[in-house]
Amino acid sequence: MTVPIRQSLRIGGYVLRQKLRRRAKFPLLVELEPLFACNLKCAGCGKIQHPAGVLKQRMPVEQAVAAVEECGAPMVSIAGGEPLMHPQIGEMVRQLVKRKKYVFLCTNALLIPKKIDQFRPSPYFAWTVHIDGLRERHDASVCKEGVFDEAVAAVRECRRRGFRVTTNTTFFTTDSPRTVVEVLDYLNDDLAVDQMMISPAYAYEKAPDQDHFLGVREIRELFREAFSGGNRDRWRFNHSPLFLDFLEGKVDFPCTAWAIPSYSVYGWQRPCYLMADGYASTYRELVEETDWNSYGRGRDPRCANCMAHCGYEPTAVFATLGSLRESLRAMRDG
């Protein structure tokens, strides 16, 4: 299973309109970071290393909505930091849903019990709960015991209330094909989330733990073995089939980070959510004044081992929509 049919048709129509307008670069999804503060200190995270003054900042709702409307992306991923720490997060989501943006609220789930009443189920809204493995593995990843059990309980409560729930799982060198299968089986079958996203960890320059990031060869081997035996076909992924092919090394793509731009309290981040080479005040400035040919594997050493979906999922989407065979494959898999 890939993305819901309503969402697929909406995105397909949006991309077609951009092509007809001859727009070379346009956003599919905005990575919106209304704050950098978090209630966890994960060893692989490079977002919580900002100065104390920056960690105290909270983006006004009006600013967040204006940025999304400015670029025109049909989807928004609200991340951070921990977005549920934002005092107006409920209103921010309501305003974006009101505009029929597909909103994914990325959270470690610890604050869901306190904040859930601020939200209402909608086809335009989904919780995206970060779960990086089963109990021991996940708690080690977030550097705090008990988080896995709290996250699972929060997912069950969201499901009980009728919310759409997706998950996001990041894999490191401490993972094996067996641990990948175990966590995805659990999320897919036992926890029965609507859809799952997966990603190899990106080597954040400021992350406290620099020893457990995967290289490209390791990433391909990990997913190729984990996906074998029909596993990939039975898991409910929120990814295009071509992006999963990419993770296995069956195809390769250039990075199209301009299609998933990042907007934070600093502005539009160059070139992507994972790297910070300066900021632009508008999306147009970001697109027109960034040297995109300087980024991606084989161009910038920092990109050498990156296979994250913020750079390569949009390329896979464009390749899918540009091929009748791949479009039919995506519909069949969905």
Distance, in Å, from the CA atom of 229 to the CA atom of 77, rounded to the nearest integer, reads: 32
Tell me the pLDDT of the chain averaged across its residues.
90
Q: Would you say residue 334 has pLDDT above 70?
A: no
Question: Which secondary-structure segment (H or E) carries 218?
Answer: helix 216-226
5-333: CATH topology is: TIM Barrel (3.20.20)
**Contact of 129 with 108, CB cutoff 8 Å:** yes
Q: Which among 151-160, 168-177, 298-307 has the top mean pLDDT? A: 151-160
Helix (H, G, I), strand (E, B) or coil at 115: helix
In DSSP terms, which residues pair with 196 in a beta bridge?
A: 167, 237
Q: Would you say residue 230 has pLDDT above 90?
A: no
pLDDT digits over 31-81, tens only? 999 999 998 888 767 666 788 898 899 999 999 999 999 999 999 999 989
Q: Would you say residue 266 has pLDDT above 90?
A: yes
Question: What per-residue confidence (pLDDT) applies to 330?
Answer: 64
Bond from prior residue into 254 cis (ω within 30 degrees of 0) = no
Domain regions of the chain by residue span: 5-333
**Contact of 236 with 195, CB cutoff 8 Å:** yes
CB-based contacts of 235, cutoff 8 Å, min separation 6: 184, 188, 196
Closest CA to 300 of 235, 230, 203, 218: 203
Question: What per-residue confidence (pLDDT) applies to 224?
Answer: 96
Question: What per-residue confidence (pLDDT) applies to 80?
Answer: 87
**Mean pLDDT within 92-108:** 98
Distance, in Å, from the CA atom of 142 to the CA atom of 44, rounded to the nearest integer, reads: 8
Confidence of residue 98 (pLDDT cuts 50, 70, 90): very high
Percent pLDDT > 70 in the chain is: 92
pLDDT digits over 191-214, tens only? 999 999 998 887 655 555 445 578
pLDDT digits over 251-264, tens only? 999 999 999 999 99
Question: What per-residue confidence (pLDDT) applies to 74?
Answer: 97
Q: What six digits make up the tokens of 35?
A: 């704050």
